[in-house]
Structure 1
Amino acid sequence: MHPSKQPWLHSAWIDTVFILSPPFLCLLAIVLFPDFFQQHVHNLPVPAWVLLILLIDVGHVYSTLFRTYLEKETLAQRRQLLVWAPFGAWVGGMLLYALGGGIFWRVLAYLAVFHFIRQQYGFMRLYSRKEKRPAWERHLDTFCIYAATLLPLLLWHVEGERNFNWFIDRDFVYLSFPAVAPFITAFNGLVFGVYLLKEGWVLYQTRTLNVPRNLVIIGTFLAWYIGIVYYNGDLIFTSFNVISHGIPYLALVWIYGHKRQTKASLEGKPAWHDRWSLGLVGIGFFVGLVVALAYIEEGLWDALVWRDHPQVFTFFQMLPQVEDKLLLSILVPLLALPQMTHYILDGFIWKSSGSPLKT
């Protein structure tokens, strides 16, 4: 594929910087500053926690608002889903927490894993939208994107606990069968090699190369294997996991809003809710709102449940920590409701055939 005809979602530089480069930039940071990352194998320094968890991870959850509740068209088309999804998630969360806090976090962890995997598949599909290729090539790409994510997770499960977790300690079910780990690793490498050979063959046969699709798939292989398997450190895992997921998602929501506004302007019917993605003011509103909501949520988590970062949430420390199990069974699912709703809605909101992202 000629460079000028690449299937960018917005533009070469926006897509490259905010969607495609994050896993490679994480790897570059680890190579340039290995001592810093090795110093934080078991925990995150507070500044890193603020950047990775508060601003990016929790922040990207709230960006879904701009694709759902703050978008008039989606709100009208999917009103029932937008009303019942959070209600059902809260009720389901309370039932799970009533069975045990560990059960609640385990189900939420696997739901999050599914969400993370599907995002990589979704980006691969978006960047393949203009290709006319044989079915076997498309099926191989799909197999590779799932292998790139599931095989490192399988290694995590068979090797047992690591120096990091998804949400809390032992939120995964560990199989403790390390004897099969070398075979899984070899298979992961084989799949990666087959993908590279396939792309080399396609390039030789057609003189075309889909740059963004290749960067998505190669970046996924690198981020998930290096972040989970090759290294065993909390900061490295969290950097790969959060940056490679959260930054592209934030960019995707902004690109969608920008394209939607552009279309509305061309049709002569722009509205105030279409203008949030335009210019510095729009970007400031977008970033400011998600950061403010993320800070409030994490402040409530810290004061009422965790008490991990009082220096970051000084104002919230006047609130009492909740220890009653019944109250926690109501409160914890309520505080987790934004991310649960985000996971659920994300499975629906990007499937519209009329989405401006698919043009």
Structure 2
Amino acid sequence: MPQPWIRSARYDGLLILAPPFLALAAVLALPAPYRSTAQMPLLAWVALVVLIDVAHVYGTLFQTYFDPLKRRQRRTLLWVVPVACYTTGVALHSLGGLVFWRVLAYLAVFHFIRQQYGFLRIYSRHELRASGDWLASALVYYATLYPLLYWHLSPGRNFNWFIDGEFVQFNWPLGRLLATILYVALLAAYASHEFLKWRRTRTFNLPRNLLLGGTLVSWYAGIVWFNGDLAFTLLNVVSHGIPYLALVWNGGATSSQAPTPPRRGAWAGRYGLAVFLGAVVLFAFLEEGLWDGLVWREHGTVFGWFQRLPAVASPVLLMWLVPLLALPQSTHYVLDGFIWRRPK
């Protein structure tokens, strides 16, 4: 059986499968305090949060609003989703800022988990369903859910998704132990199944297993093994954002389909890659500048010009402003549930 690469062994290996392992290597090379404290160097924040995490959100534009054909095909979806996200965001923020951020954090978590499952389905597309194959799906879900359970059942951590207190947490050691036992049992069951399958068929799905290994590495190391903001952000952001941008650039096609679909609109042409990367970085910088100037006021050295904007403190104004500034993220989370669906 040929390996089910999305584009090629080199492309997938470098941009989709390797990022979690490279991120772990980077974390292991960090000075010890950055693996166990809330310290986050400014340059690391810019590189990880602005240039990857926020930037990858705007990759969705190139699969929707910036593509003339897809814009026509999905015109109703493309205006309904942002309107619904904004009105829902305002309603949530009217109940309190923490309510808004908590719902957005759980939506983000769901989006991150589903991306890993989506890649799993792509890399399993050539395989005939057989007894025990459900273990791969179970493992990719529990490889993400177990660290989240550990996080929720632990005392305060040195990192967060968006803001402090967004997750409902309480310290329950027995719950962590039970979750860990199930985690180890599922790993053992999957490894046994793969070994027996290899002995029977002499086939081994390399990208699928690398994807599962990367998911295990990034989520376990970022949340359970280490307890540092930089370690969590590096593993979380690099493992999610870079593969997503690679998938967008490839147009969602796979190596078993027709050639990669022609690019249309803003990223077509000789300088398409430069336009693509330049646009997502520019949008990310502008968004974070508005956040910093109007709301957070935390990174004035990076967003100097934006400090001229008036800081908004009124709860009523924040109720309308915060969901608007967060609209790219919320729209990205929801649209991605539709634009990557493929026939069975």
Q: Shift of the alpha carbon at 1:44?
A: 1.3
Letter in 2 for 1:296: L
Task: State yes or no: 1:313 paired with 2:303.
Answer: yes
Question: Which deviations, in whole Å up to 9, do the C-alpha atoms of 1:150-192 show, x marking residues without a partner?
Answer: 1110111111320111100010011332222122122212211
Task: State yes or no: 1:182 paired with 2:184.
Answer: no
The correspondence of residues 8-23 of structure 1 with structure 2, limited to 5 A, is 8-23=5-20
Provide the TM-score with structure 1 as the length reference: 0.91
Aligned-pair identity in percent equals: 51
What is the root-mean-square deviation in Å for CA atoms of aligned residues?
1.9
1:347/1:258 CA distance change after superposition, 3 Å: closer
Unpaired stretches in structure 2, ≥5 consecutive residues:
none
The correspondence of residues 296-307 of structure 1 with structure 2, limited to 5 A, is 296-307=286-297
Q: Shift of the alpha carbon at 1:251?
A: 0.4
The correspondence of residues 1-359 of structure 1 with structure 2, limited to 5 A, is 1=1, 5-35=2-32, 37-38=34-35, 41-134=37-130, 136-256=131-251, 262=259, 272-273=264-265, 276=267, 281-353=271-343
CA distance in 1, matches of 2:175, 2:229: 24
Question: Which deviations, in whole Å up to 9, do the C-alpha atoms of 1:86-127 show, x marking residues without a partner?
Answer: 011001000100000000000000000000000000000010
1:258/1:139 CA distance change after superposition, 3 Å: closer
CA distance in 2, matches of 1:41, 1:6: 41
CA distance in 2, matches of 1:107, 1:85: 16
Q: Shift of the alpha carbon at 1:292?
A: 0.3
| SS of residue paired to 1:243 | helix
**Is the Cα–Cα contact under 8 Å of residues 61 and 338 in structure 1 kept in the other structure?**
yes
CA distance in 1, matches of 2:308, 2:232: 33
Moved over 2 A (4+): 30-38, 257-264, 270-273, 275-279
Letter in 2 for 1:140: L
CA distance in 1, matches of 2:19, 2:222: 13
| SS of residue paired to 1:256 | coil
Unpaired stretches in structure 1, ≥5 consecutive residues:
265-269
Larger displacement relative to structure 2 (76-85 or 251-260): 251-260
Aligned residues: 342
Question: Which deviations, in whole Å up to 9, do the C-alpha atoms of 1:137-162 show, x marking residues without a partner?
Answer: 33111111111011110111111320
Q: Shift of the alpha carbon at 1:256?
A: 1.1
1:43/1:33 CA distance change after superposition, 3 Å: closer
Q: Shift of the alpha carbon at 1:315?
A: 1.2
Q: Shift of the alpha carbon at 1:225?
A: 1.1
Larger displacement relative to structure 2 (125-134 or 304-313): 125-134
**Is the Cα–Cα contact under 8 Å of residues 254 and 277 in structure 1 kept in the other structure?**
no
CA distance in 1, matches of 2:132, 2:230: 36
CA distance in 2, matches of 1:299, 1:323: 17
Letter in 2 for 1:308: E
CA distance in 2, matches of 1:315, 1:107: 31
**Is the Cα–Cα contact under 8 Å of residues 6 and 253 in structure 2 kept in the other structure?**
no
Letter in 2 for 1:339: Q
CA distance in 2, matches of 1:113, 1:85: 19
CA distance in 2, matches of 1:206, 1:230: 35
Question: Which deviations, in whole Å up to 9, do the C-alpha atoms of 1:187-208 show, x marking residues without a partner?
Answer: 2122112211211111111111
| SS of residue paired to 2:153 | helix
Letter in 2 for 1:33: L
Letter in 2 for 1:209: F
**Is the Cα–Cα contact under 8 Å of residues 252 and 340 in structure 2 kept in the other structure?**
no
CA distance in 2, matches of 1:191, 1:116: 21
CA distance in 2, matches of 1:262, 1:190: 41
**Is the Cα–Cα contact under 8 Å of residues 312 and 318 in structure 2 kept in the other structure?**
yes
1:253/1:271 CA distance change after superposition, 3 Å: closer
